[in-house]
Amino acid sequence: MNKYIALIDCNNFYASCERVFDPSLKFKPVVVLSNNDGCVIARSAEAKLLGIKMGEPLFKCEDILKKESVKVFSSNYTLYADMSNRVMSIIKNHFEDVEVYSIDEAFVSIEAASINNLYKELVSLRNKILKWTGIPVSIGLSTTKTLAKLAGRKAKKSLGVYSLFNPRDLTNALREVAAGSVWGIGRRLEKKLFLKGISNAYQLSVFNHRKARRLGSVNLVRTILELNGVPCLDINSVVDTKRQITTSRAFGSPIYDLDLLKEAVSVYVSRAAEKLRLQGSSCSTITVALSTNRFSQKEPYKFFVETQSLISSTDSTSKLISSAKKILESIFKKGPGYKKAHIFLSGLEKSTSKQYSLEDNIFSIDKETNLMRVLDKLNIFYGRDTLKYASTGISRDWLMKRERKSKSYTTNWSEILTIQL
């Protein structure tokens, strides 16, 4: 039995999610915008052919979007996260050793006696994912994570599954890839490598290990070994718990009013608390920050921040909102228009190993825990904010701009897809 690594990558994921629920978009150019509809963060293959660049501000490409009738969507992270969970669930049901690397990528470690049978199995998995979710994926297969990444690139341009084992194919593939495009090589390291005469992945693969260690670090040596088929990066199938949870969003327009800021901060704390409970943690420290528009030419950039240690760690939304609002009142300054609020929850520990203080009322804490459990269950089943705290507001006019957002077809009963017969 030989061991292989496969990378399963969703094609143009955000754009593909939008196409699942609107078949008329098939073969048409589609782009998805970032927060506040600022810039392009996802493009369909057709949009890429039009020359629309990743990260390009919306105002710069509006003319070509209109001219070519490009369908434009605001980011719908709720939909994308749910579709990602569906794809990853299929992969996990098919293979045991799976590492969910990002919202649209997963590494899989596979033991197989026949490479041909494994190839057929991956083709079958690809077809199943497409049939069950509507999301097209590309699968790269090789002996290491880094080579699987390279094979994944080839898969996007071939039939959807590509194996990289043949020495000649491997050499040609490495020569085609720029050194800076190799997984784990950043811009600063790319510049250093270029000065050493290394411009592509093949030249990197034959680079002296001692020189590589001096130039970069042990991570660069590992990358070189991986390019030569020596596995150095294991599959991490256990999701690490976060040491800090952050919620930070820009507002649709500057906020000058303290009450509106309290509303926004309450929403952000609610989101952070949901993440906290999802990983079974409690926090002992909360930080609130406010910032103005960094790019404004009318007023200087300002950043206000304050941290508060809690008497006892908690995962209660109500307690965290109460603490956050007190911090907000102390850092708020009249005059500037605030463009962004930031919430940081730190000092995390497992809720099951929580340390109580002498001031804690165990009965009250248990009651609050049960309330949070019910709150989360209702919002998961019926859709986010089905049940929410009054301090989070109703109209939320300050919310970031998402004028082109599609419906949350899979997570909100009121927005479920309907068909007329």
pLDDT of residue 90: 97
pLDDT of residue 68: 93
Residue 400 domain-assigned? Answer: no
Number of residues that make up the chain: 421
Q: Which of 212, 135, 148 is nearest to 183 (CA)?
A: 148
126 in the same domain as 208: no
Which residues, in sequence order, are bridge partners of residue 345?
A: 245, 286
170 in the same domain as 160: no
pLDDT of residue 140: 96
Tell me the C-alpha distance between 352 and 244, whole Å.
Answer: 18
Tell me the C-alpha distance between 165 and 223, whole Å.
Answer: 17
CA distances from 169 to 3, 107, 152, 154, 176 (A): 20, 22, 14, 11, 11
Residue 401 domain-assigned? Answer: no
337 in the same domain as 364: yes
Per-residue pLDDT of the chain (421 residues; tens, 9 = 90+): 789 999 999 999 999 999 999 989 999 999 999 888 889 999 999 999 999 999 999 989 999 999 999 999 999 988 999 999 999 999 999 999 999 999 999 999 999 888 889 999 999 999 999 999 999 999 999 999 999 999 999 999 888 999 999 889 899 999 999 999 999 898 889 999 999 899 999 999 999 999 988 887 888 999 999 999 999 988 876 667 788 999 988 888 889 999 999 999 999 999 999 999 999 999 999 999 999 988 788 889 999 999 999 988 999 999 999 999 999 999 999 989 999 999 999 999 988 877 777 777 888 888 999 999 999 999 988 878 889 999 998 877 777 677 889 998 888 888 888 888 8
pLDDT of residue 253: 85
Q: Which CATH number characterizes residue 269's domain?
A: 3.30.1490.100
127 in the same domain as 181: no
pLDDT of residue 239: 64
Residue 317 domain-assigned? Answer: yes
pLDDT of residue 411: 84
Residue 403 domain-assigned? Answer: no
176 in the same domain as 73: no
State whether residue 410 is helix, strand or coil: coil
The DSSP code for 352 is G
Residue 353 domain-assigned? Answer: yes
Chain CA centroid to CA 99, Å: 14
Tell me the C-alpha distance between 311 and 360, whole Å.
Answer: 9
pLDDT of residue 238: 62
136 in the same domain as 78: yes
Tell me the C-alpha distance between 361 and 243, whole Å.
Answer: 27
Q: Which CATH number characterizes residue 38's domain?
A: 3.30.70.270
Q: Which of 38, 37, 45 is nearest to 13 (CA)?
A: 45
Residue 326 domain-assigned? Answer: yes
Tell me the C-alpha distance between 390 and 6, whole Å.
Answer: 47
218 in the same domain as 129: no
For Cα atoms 211, 216, 218, give the angle at the middle one, nearest 5 degrees.
85
pLDDT digits (tens, 9 = 90+) for 189-217: 999 999 989 999 999 999 999 998 888 78
pLDDT of residue 338: 94
pLDDT of residue 396: 78
Residue 101: CB partners within 8 Å, gap ≥ 6? 7, 107
111 in the same domain as 185: no
The three-state DSSP-derived secondary structure of 276-297 is HHHCCEEEEEEEEEEEECCCCC
Residue recorded with tokens 């009322």: 361
Q: State which of 190, 225, 240 marks the end of a domain.
A: 240
20 in the same domain as 68: yes
Contact between 6 and 108 (Cβ < 8 Å): yes
Q: Are strands 30-33 and 71-74 parallel, antiparallel or unpaired?
A: parallel
312 in the same domain as 263: yes
Residue 413 domain-assigned? Answer: no
Overall domain count for the chain? 3
| 366 token code pair | 């248990």
State whether residue 351 is helix, strand or coil: helix
Domain boundaries, position 369: 245-392
113 in the same domain as 86: yes
Residue 150 domain-assigned? Answer: yes
274 in the same domain as 213: no
DSSP 247-259: EEEEEEEEE--HH
Q: Are strands 2-10 and 105-112 parallel, antiparallel or unpaired?
A: antiparallel
Q: Which CATH number characterizes residue 229's domain?
A: 1.10.150.20
